[in-house]
A and B are shown apart, each in its own frame.
Chain A
Amino acid sequence: AQSVAQPEDQVNVAEGNPLTVKCTYSVSGNPYLFWYVQYPNRGLQFLLKYITGDNLVKGSYGFEAEFNKSQTSFHLKKPSALVSDSALYFCAVRDRYSSASKIIFGSGTRLSIRP
């Protein structure tokens, strides 16, 4: 079965410091991986995706993610955190053996950036 795991419920970072939000996946075959962000009382917003190609994927708002096949990880990163980055972040994988829109989400990581 396809799955993703986000081992940290919360990540706390000082503004201006680099941030990393961890994600590991379990899929058969090549994975389609995504990161989404959710602000309070809002739906999810797409940040970036990995389909194939370069292991470093760049996305919205200065975020990037590094795909590591040997470690089955897809960590989200940003070189310099902003207070406005504080939100709930979800890693996700598309279920290759089901509907095209069946995305399997992790449990989420709350990112808190302190001024």
Chain B
Amino acid sequence: DAGVTQSPTHLIKTRGQQVTLRCSPISGHKSVSWYQQVLGQGPQFIFQYYEKEERGRGNFPDRFSARQFPNYSSELNVNALLLGDSALYLCASSLVTESSYNSPLHFGNGTRLTVT
């Protein structure tokens, strides 16, 4: 089975622009989460979507938004880019259900976003 796939792998944007990152989960996984990993730090939780609904949001500004599609793929959008948004953006899928809160996350290889 294919793992979590993310596109694009690399992206260079200018301050003030908007960006859309895409993620396809492992087949059968209905939960998709997004994390931001700044160089030298651990990943920080941005969003979780489950069954096309937002189930959790981290401490990120409203410039960050996401959605999940009927096929469980997901997009992360960031508006009005700042230099500080430069990071590796990781998507993770899991078999989360109400009774399996300890399911591990399966990560994609990420999208490296550079804002200049």
Residues from 34 to 48 in A contacting B, C-beta threshold 8 Å = 34, 36, 41-46
B104 in contact with A106 (CB, 8 Å)? no
Partner of B43, one of A32, A100, A105: A105
Partner of B109, one of A32, A43, A46, A94: A43
Partner of A107, one of B41, B50, B55, B105: B41
Interface size bracket, A side: 20 to 34
Given contacts A32-B101, A49-B102, A49-B104, contact A101 B56 (CB under 8 A): yes
Question: Is A103 engaged at the interface, CB distance under 8 Å to the other chain?
Answer: yes
Residues from 27 to 44 in B contacting A, C-beta threshold 8 Å = 31, 33, 40-44
> How many Å lie between the Cα of A32 and that of B103 in the bound state?
10
Q: Give the Cβ gap from B98 to chain A, nearest Cβ, in Å.
A: 8
Question: Is B58 engaged at the interface, CB distance under 8 Å to the other chain?
Answer: yes
Q: Give the Cβ gap from A47 to chain B, nearest Cβ, in Å.
A: 9
User: CB-defined interface of B54-98 with A at 8 Å, one 1/0 digit per residue?
Assistant: 011010000000000000000000000000000000101010100
Residues from 82 to 115 in A contacting B, C-beta threshold 8 Å = 90, 92, 94, 96, 98-108
- From B50, B90, B104, B110, residue with most partner A Cβ within 10 Å: B104
Seen from chain A, the residues whose Cβ lies within 8 Å of a Cβ on chain B are 32, 34, 36, 41-46, 49, 51, 90, 92, 94, 96, 98-108
